Chain A
Amino acid sequence: MKGFANMLKNISRNKWFLLMVLPATIWFLLFSYLPMVGTIIAFKSYRYSRDGFWASLFHSDWVGFKNFKFLFATHDAYIITRNTLLYNLAFIILGLICSVAMAVVLSEIVNKKLAKVYQTGMFLPHFLSWVIIGYFAFAFLSEDKGVLNQILTGVGLHPISWYSDKTYWPVILIVMNVWKELGYTSVMYLAAIVGIDRSYYEAAMIDGASKWQQFKNITLPAISPLIITLTLLNVGRIFYSDFGLFFQLPRDSGALYAVTNTIDTYVYRGLTATGEIGMSTAAGLYQSLVGFVLVMAANLIVRKIDKDSSLF
């Protein structure tokens, strides 16, 4: 009884703070935590009921791990996992190399005003949606009007049906993703490089160190905590893919699914096209669970290296 009275007293003492967190907390309950409860659909044979969500949930039969068994029995499960992992791996490695390189380039340019202008240009794609970028890409890849096919026919080669030939898409997707985010990520590294004490470089120069030696022995060690942190956080997200990139850029073209289908696009198509509610939910839960383990592991490692950079 005393504990209860205490609790009431605490609540009343914190009532204004509680009022402040209330609206967003309701949002979290409705839009984040209810869907987590909803993942039990993955263990059910989901049937729509006219009496709403809870009725459908309760009246659907338990099927245990059957949805998961079906999912992993398909070839799709392998394809979407492979695509998601390999693309993310390419994005992480190539993105890291390119953005550190671009940050070094920008930091070395003598005319700082000019460097700022370049940076402003590079930042633009980050602000645009994949729908818009899909149109940009179409101006180049369109089969009858695109610039690339004009060039190909111009030099006497056969035009390519870009949106039905999957050969080139791994490269297109990787290049476009790096292109879109490079300006943004290089700014983070640039900020870290600019923050390095100039006297290190002066001392190194007096000792006759070349630019490469300076980069290897001063710049790289100084920005490596940031590199490790950002990379590990990306590794933690390796099971998630950018839906827009894989859905909008290839124009949802069925001929390209083998190289453009990721876990996220698979779940979406399961929900909207094939109506495989149980299996889609299972695929989503598979993604969330593996993703959870990876984020926790990545965060644990980041904490060990640099406590301030960890997510929590």
Chain B
Amino acid sequence: MAKARTLNQPSRASNTILNVIAAVFSIACVFPFLFVIIISFTNEKALSRDGYRIIPKEWSLEAYRYIFKTGDQLLRSFGITVLITVVGALLSLVLISHFAYAISRSSFRYRNFFSFIAIFTMLFNGGMVPSYIINTRMLHLKDTLWALILPLAVNAFYIMIMRTFYRTTVPDAIVEAGKIDGAGELRVFYSVVLPISLPGLATIGLFSTLGYWNDWFNALLYIDNPNLVPLQALLMRIENSMQFLVTNSALSGSGQGMALLSTLPQDSARMAMVVLATVPIVLAYPFFQRFFISGLTVGAVKG
């Protein structure tokens, strides 16, 4: 058996080709990030003279020095992002874990009705405009942190993953045993079900952590106050202002254009901000990847 398996291996030459294909694409996926790191460590003068270089002629720490010296806005945005990520991920874990557990139990009489409430939102939605009008005019979320937290808190897809997880990993017998011991439905959930559901909760928690960290869309719609702009949206705003100057090149020579330009971080500093927004993800990455793959398999099994 073992011998047959080695026999079925690709030849040395084709194995090399396979390795090259996978390695080249893998590098193509990581390289842009490395490149942005390099740019962030390039001397600003060298950048405006030579453009973005893979091996710069002059290195510099100036960008990072600049950011940490004048980085009030950046620090504030970083704080906002951390805050909404932590609060948002916890909130969505609470909402999703409870809802999904109830609809996973066959003893819950209305489980089909509530499953339908969740599933239907995957099939049909009111669209951006009615959501925007309701969130701003009725719920008054404009320019509040809740505008960055609430719209992402629940997601029917995560509920379905979690429901499947409960169904496949929480045996009925455990729940029944808990009840015979006199514990109520809630007690059983908190002291028996949740502890054995940690892998599922971790998966959902990571999904939503990533969702909050990377979100710029809600800030685009709902946040005007510069004190409430999260990191990704800050980067987006800087990018838009740059583009505005480029497309209105008549402006860039004028006093107004110069004034706008002077408020924007220089090339290397902008790239340094991109690096700072990405590094936490890259550091948490090995951890993420493991749970993502297990999350995919959880999602693939349907209960």
Give CA–CA (A33, B156) in the complex, Å.
Answer: 13
Contact in complex: B27, A135 (CB < 8 Å): no
For B135, the chain A residues whose CB sits under 8 A away are 31
For A128, the chain B residues whose CB sits under 8 A away are 33, 214, 278, 281
For B18, the chain A residues whose CB sits under 8 A away are 105, 108-109
Q: Which of B195-203, B256-264, B284-292 forms part of the interface with chain A? A: B284-292
Give CA–CA (A133, B246) in the complex, Å.
Answer: 20
Contact in complex: A145, B128 (CB < 8 Å): no
Candidate in A10, A24, A38 with the most chain B CB atoms within 10 angstroms: A24
Whether B59 is near chain A, meaning CB under 8 Å from some CB there, is: no
| Main secondary structure on B side of the interface with A | helix
Whether B250 is near chain A, meaning CB under 8 Å from some CB there, is: no
Whether B171 is near chain A, meaning CB under 8 Å from some CB there, is: no
Interface residue from A35, A110, A123, A244 paired with B134 (Cβ < 8 Å) = A35
Whether B302 is near chain A, meaning CB under 8 Å from some CB there, is: yes
Contact in complex: A142, B52 (CB < 8 Å): yes
- Quick one: which of A41-85 are within 8 Å of B by CB? 41, 48, 52-54, 56
Give CA–CA (A114, B22) in the complex, Å.
Answer: 10
Which A residue's beta carbon lies closest to that of B242? A251
Contact in complex: A205, B8 (CB < 8 Å): yes
A-B interface, 8 closest residue pairs, ranked by CB to CB distance from nearest: A284-B127, A35-B126, A38-B130, A121-B26, A16-B185, A129-B214, A145-B51, A136-B32
A-B contact pairs, 28 of them (CB 8 A): A16-B184, A24-B99, A24-B154, A27-B150, A31-B151, A35-B134, A36-B124, A36-B130, A38-B133, A53-B133, A56-B133, A105-B18, A120-B286, A121-B26, A121-B29, A124-B30, A124-B33, A127-B210, A128-B278, A129-B216, A133-B32, A147-B35, A147-B52, A163-B246, A202-B8, A255-B247, A267-B129, A284-B128
B contact residues vs A (CB 8 Å cutoff): 1, 4-5, 7-10, 14-15, 18-19, 21-23, 25-30, 32-33, 35-36, 39, 47-48, 51-52, 54, 94-96, 98-99, 101-103, 105, 107-111, 114, 117-119, 121-135, 137-139, 150-151, 153-154, 159, 184-186, 189, 210, 214-217, 221, 232-233, 235-236, 239-240, 243, 246-247, 267, 270-271, 274, 277-278, 281-282, 285-286, 288-289, 292-293, 296-297, 300-302
